Structure 1
Amino acid sequence: MHRTVALFSLGGAPGVTCAAMALAAVWPGGAGAVLVEADASGGDVATWRRLQPAPGLTGLAAAARHGGASADLAAHTQTLPGGLAVCHAPVTADRAEGAVRLVAQNPGVLASADGAAVVLDLGRLTPGAPASALAARADEALLLVSDSLAQLRRAKEASEALVRSLPSLRTVVVGGSGSVREIEGALGPGVWGRLPADERSAAFLRGETNPRKPHHRPLLKAAARLAGDLADGADRAPAPVPGTPPPAPEPTGVHT
């Protein structure tokens, strides 16, 4: 089934783009997933992977400007070595913000004709930003937060407003090694689990290295478990309302 998953942070650079790339690269099923870099502050993928300016988000935004009736998401992607289809954002904020705004106003252009899932890299989400509308329309919204006191406190303080606008919200903790149950008790949104801090996987995703068996790396393995949970959507409880007792952790295989 076609699904749209939005990843974002509230700040602190927890590695949203690398996480989104990993999630899209290991998405289960024959159709796989398309990565759409919809970061209004400017994209990284084109620079990392030395992509041509087009096709990409700028062309998709142009299709959105004309109503998007005949838009084909696949026509606005480039394929990375290994097969991941990417619709990358312009590298500068002035161009990226306008493109994201047009796509957010015409989200139908994100429909994948072949049934592939769409993984949205929204970067840092700010109130009222165009990407907020994309997050609200996604089937799944994932808040990535670093395992640091400052970032966890920020997520806690934002949880009530986030859950109101993103009822499908789940939190993914990046790095750290403590008990996810403790973090789940401290935060409003339900916590899925952890993505490990894995610089070798990040370097692979950026195109800097080519390790043997990259899918055996910790980040890619954890991303595969997350993708499996999101793809089937089975037995997922809704995000709790802030102030209510947190649910028990989900059996994703990454809780500690």
Structure 2
Amino acid sequence: MPRTVALFSLGGAPGVTCAAMALSAVWPGGTGAVLVEADASGGDVATWRRLQPDPGLTGLAAAARHGGASADLAAHTQILPGGLSVCHAPVTADRAEGAVRLLSQNPGVLASPSGPAVVLDLGRLTPGAAASALATWADEALLLVADDLAQLRRAKEASEALTRSLPRLRTVVVGGSGGVREIENALGPGVWGRLPADERSASFLRGETNPRKPERRPLLKAAARLAGDLARGADPAPAPGAGAPAPAPEWTGVHA
């Protein structure tokens, strides 16, 4: 089972943070997953969820640099209502970039054979950025691309170089319609499928609304299928109605 999954984009705004939160919240298994917001441009979770500055990524990065028991990831997380553990980034780029750079030099603090899986929100990835090392180090890497002609073209042109450094790369298209084969024809192999554009789920993940059964929302259901595929190390799972039922996840942090 993969222990670390990195999510990132190449540009645009495909909703990497919301996707990472959804994936963390529905990760299968008893230990679940923790979200580490390692976006060097600055994080959103603290603002969305009105979190205190500490504990968070800055403390984890400093502890990783010095080593010792204080580098334990769990000591640098905050628990959202519902149980999702989050290690959030500073909101400003000047502080976040330094923390991400330190973490990229000491990524071992994220590894835990018996603890929760780690979902890394790397935001927008640029060549030579510190977060690139985290994407390479992760067990799985997910490139999120908006269903937009310019973004799809950018992803296709970058795919060869990305695959060389990220052999387990999967592409996930956000929004739009059409099947996996159609996306593969446009982008090439390594496509998982689509995450639906679902503003109600995004609003819920940001802490703005509290629907009765969020696990039934399209984004959370699709994230559960993706999490199941990643946890099993399997090929992309068929969408419901395509010959196989979606796996039933254990909801480990999906309630606001």
Instruction: Tell me the TM-score normalised to structure 2 length.
Output: 0.91
The alpha-carbon deviation at position 16 of structure 1 amounts to 0.1
Deviations 1:176-209 (A, max 9, x none): 0123312202213411011000000000000000
| Runs (5+) with no aligned partner, structure 2 | 243-256
- Matching residue's letter, 1:198: D
Report the counterpart of residue 253 of structure 1 in structure 2: 239
Report the counterpart of residue 150 of structure 1 in structure 2: 150
Q: Does 1:39 align with 2:39?
A: yes
CA distance in 1, matches of 2:232, 2:2: 10
Secondary structure of 2:172's partner?
strand
CA distance in 2, matches of 1:255, 1:87: 36
Report the counterpart of residue 85 of structure 2 in structure 1: 85
How has the CA–CA distance of structure 1 residues 140 and 60 changed in structure 2, closer, same or farther, with 3 Å as cutoff?
same
Contact 2:183/2:193 (8 A) holds in 1: no
Report the counterpart of residue 141 of structure 2 in structure 1: 141
Q: Does 1:67 align with 2:49?
A: no
Secondary structure of 1:28's partner?
coil
Deviations 1:22-68 (A, max 9, x none): 00000000000000000000000000000000000000011112135
- Matching residue's letter, 1:253: A
Tell which deviates more after alignment, 2-11 or 117-126: 2-11
Contact 1:155/1:187 (8 A) holds in 2: yes
Secondary structure of 2:71's partner?
coil
Higher normalized contact order (CA 8 Å, seq sep 6+, divided by chain length):
2
Contact 1:175/1:197 (8 A) holds in 2: yes
Report the counterpart of residue 17 of structure 2 in structure 1: 17
The alpha-carbon deviation at position 113 of structure 1 amounts to 6.8
Tell which deviates more after alignment, 11-20 or 113-122: 113-122
CA distance in 2, matches of 1:254, 1:130: 38
Contact 2:225/2:237 (8 A) holds in 1: no
CA distance in 2, matches of 1:69, 1:163: 35
CA distance in 2, matches of 1:128, 1:163: 16
- CA RMSD, aligned part only? 1.6
Report the counterpart of residue 126 of structure 2 in structure 1: 126
CA distance in 2, matches of 1:68, 1:11: 37
Deviations 1:63-106 (A, max 9, x none): 11213565110000000001000000000000000000000000
How has the CA–CA distance of structure 1 residues 76 and 70 changed in structure 2, closer, same or farther, with 3 Å as cutoff?
closer
Secondary structure of 1:144's partner?
strand
Contact 2:226/2:237 (8 A) holds in 1: no
The alpha-carbon deviation at position 164 of structure 1 amounts to 0.5
CA distance in 2, matches of 1:69, 1:136: 25
Tell which deviates more after alignment, 109-118 or 16-25: 109-118
Deviations 1:146-183 (A, max 9, x none): 01111100000101110011000000000001233122
The alpha-carbon deviation at position 109 of structure 1 amounts to 1.1
Instruction: Tell me the TM-score normalised to structure 1 length.
Output: 0.91
Aligned residues: 242
CA distance in 1, matches of 2:180, 2:113: 37
Tell which deviates more after alignment, 197-206 or 59-68: 59-68
Contact 1:159/1:189 (8 A) holds in 2: no
Tell which deviates more after alignment, 125-134 or 59-68: 59-68
Secondary structure of 1:219's partner?
helix
Q: Does 1:224 align with 2:224?
A: yes
The alpha-carbon deviation at position 254 of structure 1 amounts to 6.3
| Runs (5+) with no aligned partner, structure 1 | 237-249
How has the CA–CA distance of structure 1 residues 79 and 69 changed in structure 2, closer, same or farther, with 3 Å as cutoff?
closer
Q: Does 1:172 align with 2:172?
A: yes
Deviations 1:97-135 (A, max 9, x none): 000000000001112474200000000000000000000
Contact 1:194/1:254 (8 A) holds in 2: no
CA distance in 2, matches of 1:219, 1:146: 14
Report the counterpart of residue 213 of structure 2 in structure 1: 213
Contact 1:163/1:189 (8 A) holds in 2: no
CA distance in 2, matches of 1:215, 1:204: 11
